[in-house]
Structure 1
């Protein structure tokens, strides 16, 4: 360590800063722990801003500049919060989450959305406020009624400015369409090639979290359509018992619908949306969804994507179990009704028949 510090002192601060600007986030954080000189350089927000801009190009857009504070710890905290994936390994969410605010407004949040194809960012978008919002604190009866409807209706976010983006064939001669003659091959190509990041930021507290799984959790072809595919991203969020959700779990599901057109040889986005659902498959309403999104920012994080996928598979298993039980109950109820009707008919028939 002394030898390292001696070597570092031989280098100017500008050279050290240039070297550290070439590091990724985890390496930069590790280097900052080695000595005071590197720790001082690592506190430079310019380094973390560059990392954020390269990882999430949406953070470099003009409309994003006022959302992430450039003061103490702004971009470093954004990177630390948003780079690892949200994990659902909390056994007791009631004791883990901080006290919830009494009112959570959609305008408290901002969304940073980035879509990659073959490691190249093809579209980025920033939303200042979740676009289902109506501001709190207004006395107008119409506004109050609309907010009441928004908070109680099924929650869904559809960014309008991320549609109609095209992915043309690459410059490397790798013909996307020629590889995807079969639906299974197309699904595999999409699953391996597409990456999506959906970062939620609490503007007041500076807390952030990536609600996406980066890689698709599933890819399915819509057979009734002409080349349409659905890609599912997302995370599993442990929630407090007060929300009264089955298994105290919620799924943040980000769905991307795209179309592969064989003649033109490109992929076109048709819709990207996000909603929250429980293990019964039901959409969670707007009021509960805002609370769940707020709780997601305080979940544990993991760089192990397989653990995130495992949590998703477990959630889907519980969902199928609830669906099977519901179908069984409905089947038993149908049989009971039929049996009751048969018994009634037999009784009536017996009384009508002459003795």
Structure 2
């Protein structure tokens, strides 16, 4: 006997029910029955979800790129909607020579900034990754042009702008690798911390994803006053290790490819991301303090040796004189 759901015309299901679901709900529905699975994998449903969730992927270049993926827009969603969980290892960077043989010639960054869930800025940026300047220089991807400012209608509504931004300013940064046809979202979605720049007074909103001994960091720089409008003056991506050093492009590629292909996709949890960020910063601080203590001990040893040598030479000279 047919299931009651099969008696409903497919057009009605797709147009009036399935088209109203978000990606997570649509994925859940598709696993309940074969009939629904076939309807839930329709291209136009996922295209609508993708472009509404990430307006940056409505770009013609992104549309052309996504069309080459095995399941098109559905592939992007399954790779990029969840949070990435991956622990980088030394093999990621040591294998950079072998990666060079199949290294991607380009990466695409799909960046979307939201205020209270509504998009305020979206951009797709292509970065060439096969040239020497990228491979040998610290990785730094800046979305805005020099001196470009994003003017928004967002008003600073309260004096405690740090807490206000932590709760309301979210961001997505998807890295797309066209050669392997994989993608990964490297943003924590909500900020892991908000701080003021010690010199300029600008607000720096940080979104981080920790991958073992490496951290991916997205920094959004904002300016404005309480009662006035907020402007965005910078949106950048970088990767740093436990010593606070920025990774070069070649090493970064090895880790990014590893995260795309081997990383686990988890449900987004900002509390977990904040905890991992704080633990990373704590370990980095401990390493720095340990290094400083070791340097102080070495300085003391050198000073003692120098004093002993000087005293010996002084006595030696006095003896012969």
Q: What's the CA shift string for 1:132-159, capped at 9, x where partnerless? A: x365xxxxxxxxxxx3343122121112
Is contact 2:87-2:211 (8 Å) kept? no
In 1, Cα distance between the equivalents of 2:91 and 2:43? 33
Shift of 1:353: 5.9
The one of 51, 65, 80 equivalent to 1:53 is 51
**Within 5 A, what are the aligned runs for 1:164-313?**
164-169=149-154, 176-180=155-159, 185-225=160-200, 227-238=201-212, 249-262=213-226, 265-298=228-261, 299-305=263-269, 306-313=271-278
Q: What's the CA shift string for 1:98-142, capped at 9, x where partnerless? A: xx74435453321110001121100101123x2xx365xxxxxxx
State the match for 2:8 in structure 1.
Answer: 11
Is contact 1:125-1:161 (8 Å) kept? no
State the match for 2:84 in structure 1.
Answer: 86
TM-score normalised by L of structure 1: 0.80
Is contact 1:87-1:308 (8 Å) kept? no
Shift of 1:350: 4.1
The one of 338, 342, 353 equivalent to 2:307 is 342
Is contact 2:183-2:260 (8 Å) kept? yes
Shift of 1:333: 1.3
**Within 5 A, what are the aligned runs for 1:127-142?**
127-128=125-126, 130=127, 133=128, 135=130
Shift in alpha-carbon separation, 1:69–1:178, aligned structure 2, 3 A: closer
State the match for 1:120 in structure 2.
Answer: 118
The one of 136, 150, 159 equivalent to 2:143 is 159
State the match for 1:328 in structure 2.
Answer: 293
Is contact 1:31-1:39 (8 Å) kept? yes
SS at match of 2:170: strand
SS at match of 1:223: coil
Q: What's the CA shift string for 1:265-308, capped at 9, x where partnerless? A: 11111111111111111111111111111112121111141333
Q: What's the CA shift string for 1:324-355, capped at 9, x where partnerless? A: 11111111111112222332343344456689
**Count of equivalent residues:** 313
In 1, Cα distance between the equivalents of 2:88 and 2:136? 27
In 1, Cα distance between the equivalents of 2:157 and 2:77? 38
Gaps of 5+ in 2: none
TM-score normalised by L of structure 2: 0.88
Shift of 1:193: 1.2
Shift in alpha-carbon separation, 1:261–1:107, aligned structure 2, 3 A: farther
Shift of 1:91: 9.3
Instruction: Name the one with the larger strand percent.
Output: 2
SS at match of 2:76: helix
In 2, Cα distance between the equivalents of 1:201 and 1:134? 12
Is contact 2:51-2:58 (8 Å) kept? yes
In 2, Cα distance between the equivalents of 1:177 and 1:120? 16
Q: What's the CA shift string for 1:202-224, capped at 9, x where partnerless? A: 11222111011111111111132
Shift of 1:90: 8.3
In 2, Cα distance between the equivalents of 1:84 and 1:197? 11
